[in-house]
Amino acid sequence: MNVPLLDLVAQYRTIKDEVLPALQEVIESQQFIMGPAIAALETEVARLSHAAHGIGCASGTDALLLPLKALALEPGDEVITTAFTFFASAGTIHNTGGRPVFVDIDPATFNIDPAAAAAAIGPRTRAIMPVHLYGQMAAMERLLPIAAPRHLPVIEDACQAIGARRRVDGRWRHAGELGWVGGFSFFPSKNLGAWGDGGMMVTNDAATAERLRRLRLHGGAKQYHHEEVGTNSRLDTLQAVVLLRKLPHLADWSARRRAHAAYYTAAFADLAAVRTPVVEDANEHIFHQYTLRVERRDELAAHLKAQGIGHAVYYPVPLHRQECFAHLGYAPGSLPETERACREVISLPIYPELTPAQLDRVIDVVRTFYR
Ligand SMILES: Cc1ncc(COP(=O)(O)O)c(C=O)c1O
């Protein structure tokens, strides 16, 4: 039995009767730009994140780019982030005129190490961008007190973490709730995926929300009047309609991912060569990815491939060692935990619609390799 890394068709079958009529309505109306579906989705995602404002945009990348643009970075201004993430986290810093400053990760969770972030703060630091990697929130309660004395805005790259939460001082706090701005991606493979690109920013600050709304519409609140230079980064109305129909299922889908993760973790518990994901006690993980650390990673990947089991390495090359960032001068070995993670990680299928037989097949293939 082959098991794909992700099977979007399996999900489509379960929701098509809800989504297709809603799409048809938009098509019949021919109102493709903005409209009530955008505002409705913004309200729902803000509610889910316990944030006051939601601002739709064209992608998760733009959900990071627009708040960074609002900071009006000057050449030499620095934004501290992790190098163990998708390229957009640092690409957006570069594209808004900033210099990414990469710090190492906590080897247990793969998230930014708050102590390393604190040590990297310098006179040119303008912001900190934690990434809630694989769907588990970074240690926001440690990062915020580091940022606050310097009035550094914290931009949460929550692209993989919609609906994730973390207990802070006995209270659940949600991805996107505590930072200055949180950015979500609706890329189709995400826990809440559109049928194309899409993104959303959330914030508790009304003035920031207004600014981000302007920036996504060429920097003008009123048509043909531009207070500043923005861009076209609207969330597509058809995508908003898909997302509105999918949103009521999100909690169940993420719970199913957690159940699959628990099943895998129990099944791999006795394998010395495999380290299963660490979920911090304070965290409710949404398992956008289920990522192991393993011995002989590349050999395992070849074995999985030969057996028809979908898998992926997120991420094989850390951002500080990417060719395009060579000018930043990070030598090999400069972020040892990040580099070790790049050599050891492998992600297995974790999508909600996986059947027990498929889970058992993945487990069997991994166990056979290490036996
Ligand atoms: C951590 C992270 N940041 C940013 C992005 C960018 O999102 P998008 O692909 O929607 O532009 C993604 C998703 O691909 C991501 O996983």
Q: What is the pLDDT of residue 61?
A: 98
Ligand 1 center from residue 159 Cα (angstroms): 5
Residues in CB range of 114: below 8 A, 6 or more apart: 138, 139, 142, 143, 146
Residue nearest to atom 12 of ligand 1 (CA): 159
Ligand 1 center from residue 170 Cα (angstroms): 30
Q: What is the pLDDT of residue 221?
A: 85
Closest CA to 62 of 210, 175, 151, 181: 181
- Chain center to CA of 343: 21
Phi-psi region of 138 (alpha: psi -120 to 50; beta: other; left: phi over 0): beta
Question: What angle separates helix 60-70 from helix 206-215, to the nearest 10 degrees?
Answer: 110
Ligand 1 center from residue 130 Cα (angstroms): 13
Helix or strand holding residue 130 (H, E): none
Q: Tokens in use for 262?
A: 């628990």
Query: Which of 59, 137, 159, 347 should be mutated for ligand 1, with most atoms under 8 A from CB?
Result: 159
Q: Residues lining ligand 1, CB < 6 A?
A: 59-61, 85-86, 88-89, 131, 157, 159-160, 185, 187, 197, 199
Q: What is the pLDDT of residue 121?
A: 98
Ligand 1 center from residue 63 Cα (angstroms): 9
Ligand 1 center from residue 85 Cα (angstroms): 9
Q: Tokens in use for 348?
A: 């297995």
Per-residue pLDDT of the chain in tens (371 residues, 90 and over written 9): 999 999 999 999 999 999 999 999 999 999 999 999 999 999 999 999 999 999 999 999 999 999 999 999 999 999 999 999 999 999 999 999 999 999 999 999 999 999 999 999 999 999 999 999 999 999 999 999 999 999 999 999 999 999 999 999 999 999 999 999 999 999 999 999 999 999 999 999 999 999 999 999 999 988 899 999 999 999 999 999 999 999 999 999 999 999 999 999 999 999 999 999 999 999 999 999 999 999 999 999 999 999 999 999 999 999 999 999 999 999 999 999 999 999 999 999 999 999 999 999 999 999 999 98
Residue with tokens 């201004």: 77
Query: Which of 61, 156, 287 should be mutated for ligand 1, with most atoms under 8 A from CB?
Result: 61
Rounded to whole angstroms, the Cα distance separating 208 from 365 reads 50
Q: Dmax of the chain from CA atoms?
A: 67
Ligand 1 center from residue 87 Cα (angstroms): 8
CB 182 within 8 A of CB 46: no
Distance of CA 294 to CAs 280, 342, 349, Å? 20, 11, 16
